[in-house]
């Protein structure tokens, strides 16, 4: 039996806009992002509204003990989605990332691709623990930076 608390995943809403922006601007988050520049409040709010209005984008909040600890966004078509994940700074290295990723993938329901910076070993490990597998391809350029590709299909998640 695990000592880890149960993770709950729920749809993100307007009440989450500010905390997601704060998490996005954490120095550790910016360091492992494809674009390391800080995000302004106005740019974030505009981005949030655009994502929320997109029928092919879903956004999720992870909670543990009724406290928000992470954000997941899927975009793309409903067959294959690209995932973006951020765990709050004070909840990192607690094993919650993989539970958040798996829960959001299960809730979203589509096959999912993650693009991760090769130096972001914690994220790679979290994705692999959530049933993602590395694709045996050369790194993919994303905003001029090489990225690893990890994939989770509905079938691989059931194994």
d(CA 72, CA 86): 7
For the chain, the first-to-last Cα distance in angstroms comes to 20
Highest mean pLDDT among 27-31, 60-64, 74-78, 110-114: 60-64
Q: What are phi and psi of 67, to 5 degrees?
A: -115, 135
119-150 pLDDT, tens digit each = 899 999 999 999 999 987 776 777 777 888 99
pTM score of the predicted model: 0.89
Complete domains list, the chain, with CATH: 7-157 (3.40.630.30)
pLDDT in tens, 52-73: 999 999 999 999 999 999 999 9
């Amino acid at each position: 039996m695990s000592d880890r608390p149960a993770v709950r995943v729920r749809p993100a809403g307007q009440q989450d806009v500010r905390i997601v922006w704060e998490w996005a601007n954490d120095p550790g988050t910016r360091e492992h992002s494809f674009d390391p520049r800080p995000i302004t409040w106005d740019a974030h709010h505009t981005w949030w509204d655009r994502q929320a209005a997109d029928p092919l984008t879903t956004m999720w909040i992870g909670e543990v003990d009724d406290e928000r600890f992470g954000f997941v966004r899927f975009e793309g078509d409903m067959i294959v989605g690209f995932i973006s994940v951020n765990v709050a700074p004070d909840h990192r290295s607690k094993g919650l990332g993989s539970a958040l990723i798996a829960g959001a993938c299960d809730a979203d329901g589509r096959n999912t691709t993650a693009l991760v910076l090769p130096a972001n070993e914690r994220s790679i490990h979290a994705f692999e623990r959530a049933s993602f597998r590395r694709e045996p391809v050369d790194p993919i350029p994303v905003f001029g930076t090489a990225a690893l590709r990890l994939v989770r299909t509905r079938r691989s998640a059931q194994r």
